[in-house]
Every structure is written in C-alpha cells, then in structure tokens.
Amino acid sequence: MRQLVALAMLFLTACQVQGAGCAQYGPETTELTGSLELRDYPGPPNYESVQAGDRLEQQWILVLPSEMCVDAASPPSTEAGRVTGIREIQLVQGPESPSLLHLRGRKIKVSGQLFSAHTGHHRTPVLLAVRQVSPN
C-alpha cells in the first residue's frame, strides 16, 4: 500500500512539474525570442492554392529556438487547453504595432498576449498579439 501511495505522489508531482513551465494565454504579457520569418499562405476563398485562385496571405512567424507549451490560466477559460510542442507562433499586429520588415530573418525579442487560433487566417495553434519588438 505504501508503494502505491508513493507511486501516486510521484505521478502527481511529475504532472505538476510538467505544467509549471508553460506560458499562459492573455491577459498576461509573454516575452519570447526567436527568428522572424515572413511566409506565404493561400487565403480566401478556399485556403488551398494561390495558383488555383486563392488570395495570397503573408504572415509573420516567430520560429522558437526550443519547444514551449501554453496553458489556460484557470478554468473556465475561453482559450483552448494546454498546447505542447510549440515551435512556431504567428505574430498578429494591430494598428499601433511596430513594423517588422527591418527585422525579417533576424533574431528578435517580442512581447504581447498569447491566444489560440480560431479562424482560417491563423496559421499556428497559438498566436501572439504583438506589443513590443526589438532585435535580440
């Protein structure tokens, strides 16, 4: 019986440690570093092929140096649950966001709020609404 209790405690501790390093969806601000890429994707009407008539959409993608995870801060959250194995995050800019063109292909540090994909224009499971960007 003691061994069973010890095994259960070890399992619970491992689960807690696994989630301890996850970033949180907004409103918390998250800071990330990685390489900035501008990628082409097919857009409306079918999101399948630019050559077949879909509009070209370009999206900024932050390529992370290592995997990360994102977790909802606390239930009930409007965001998706835990997402693991994240290596790329689409950056979403608002009207007041800084330009990224001069940083294309460079290592950058970016901060903002994480949120989960919810439209066909979202190219990664987790996105970052950009607040600040700087070369790294």
- Tell me the CATH number at 108: 2.40.50
Among residues 23, 107, 14, the alpha carbon closest in space to that of 62 is found at 107
**Strand 107-116 and strand 30-42: pairing?**
antiparallel
Mean pLDDT of 112-135: 94
Does 99 reside within a domain? yes
The total number of residues shown for the chain amounts to 136
Does 14 reside within a domain? no
Among residues 33, 92, 31, 32, the alpha carbon closest in space to that of 59 is found at 92
- Using pLDDT thresholds of 50, 70 and 90, give the confidence band for residue 76: low
- Using pLDDT thresholds of 50, 70 and 90, give the confidence band for residue 14: very low
Does 61 reside within a domain? yes
**Strand 83-92 and strand 126-135: pairing?**
parallel
Q: Look at residue 18 and tell me whether its pLDDT is greater than 70.
A: no
Does 37 reside within a domain? yes
Q: What range does the domain containing 120 cover? A: 22-135
Statement: the pTM of the whole predicted model exceeds 0.85 = no
Does 67 reside within a domain? yes
Mean pLDDT of 21-30: 91
For residue 73, what pLDDT is reported? 63
Q: How many domains does the chain have?
A: 1
Q: What is the mean pLDDT of the chain?
A: 84
Does 12 reside within a domain? no
For residue 115, what pLDDT is reported? 94
What one-character DSSP code corresponds to residue 75?
Answer: S
54 versus 10: the higher-pLDDT residue is 54
C-alpha to C-alpha distance for 62 and 91, rounded to whole angstroms: 7
The CA distances from residue 18 to 13, 14, 15, 32, 113, in Å, are 9, 6, 5, 19, 22
C-alpha to C-alpha distance for 91 and 129, rounded to whole angstroms: 6
| Cβ–Cβ under 8 Å, residues 25 and 72 | yes
